[in-house]
């Protein structure tokens, strides 16, 4: 892992379905589980409601990967680990690979909802092997603590609400559907890296 985790490691006990899946993969402690998830490629799972698919399909998004680890922490009784949604100014500097899409659409940035974990005051982003919350920390516009299942609908609805308000405040010529399409192009370009 590129950054050490800011909490003491602990062994996984077979306390639920998610714990069992990690143990079956011969991942016996929380650090090993976290590193395994972090190294999986970025990609959407077939069912957003089933975080275990991150393991089964060997890929995941910021939402599914962090929700899976928060769910594992809950099963293990590690309640101090928090899950957050942060809406940030996504640009090519803090999210390399989307610059061409933004440039084609004459945008400096687009508000994007991102998930990450926090222990005490330390924020952990395991979206991929180079993810680092420090890259977006100065660009966060809104932050909300959530429970794992809230990444499915609540995150999407909160993001859409934020984008509608942003379009109105910026007096943008984009419609919501146009802006969401640009956002989807950005996500697609990230999945091609």
C-alpha 124: how far from chain center? 10
Angle between helices 17-24 and 62-76 (to 10 degrees): 100
In tens, the pLDDT along 124-138 reads 999 988 889 999 999
pLDDT at 3 over 70: no
pLDDT at 191 over 80: no
CA distance readout (Å), 56 to 12, 31, 51, 92, 117: 19, 19, 9, 31, 22
Report pLDDT for 188.
86
What's the angle, vertex CA 44, arms to CA 15 and CA 50, rounded to 5? 30
Average pLDDT value for the chain: 93
Domain boundaries, the chain: 17-76, 82-191
In tens, the pLDDT along 174-186 reads 999 999 999 999 9
In tens, the pLDDT along 95-114 reads 989 999 999 999 999 999 99
The three-state secondary structure class of 141 is strand
Report pLDDT for 1.
44
In tens, the pLDDT along 114-171 reads 999 999 999 999 998 888 999 999 999 999 999 999 999 999 999 999 999 999 999 9
How far, in Å, CA of 51 to CA of 138, rounded?
29
Polymer length in residues for the chain: 193
CA dihedral 139, 145, 147, 152 (to 10 degrees): -40
């Amino acid at each position: 892992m590129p950054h050490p985790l800011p909490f003491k490691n602990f062994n996984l006990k077979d306390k639920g379905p998610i714990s069992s899946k990690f143990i079956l993969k011969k991942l016996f402690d929380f650090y090993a589980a976290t590193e395994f998830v972090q190294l999986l490629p970025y990609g959407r799972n077939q069912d957003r409601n089933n975080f275990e698919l991150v393991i089964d399909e060997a890929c995941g998004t910021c939402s599914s990967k962090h929700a899976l680890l928060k769910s594992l922490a809950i099963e293990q009784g590690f309640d101090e680990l928090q899950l957050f949604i942060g809406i940030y100014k996504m640009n090519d500097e803090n999210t390399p690979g989307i610059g061409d899409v933004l440039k084609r659409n004459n945008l400096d940035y687009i508000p994007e909802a991102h998930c990450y974990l926090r222990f005490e005051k330390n924020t952990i982003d395991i979206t991929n092997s180079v993810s680092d919350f420090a890259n977006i920390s100065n660009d966060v516009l809104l932050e909300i603590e959530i429970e794992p299942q809230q990444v499915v609908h609540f995150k999407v609805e909160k993001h859409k609400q934020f984008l509608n308000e942003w379009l109105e405040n910026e007096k943008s010529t984009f419609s919501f559907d146009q802006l969401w399409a640009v956002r989807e192009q950005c996500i697609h370009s990230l999945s091609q890296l």
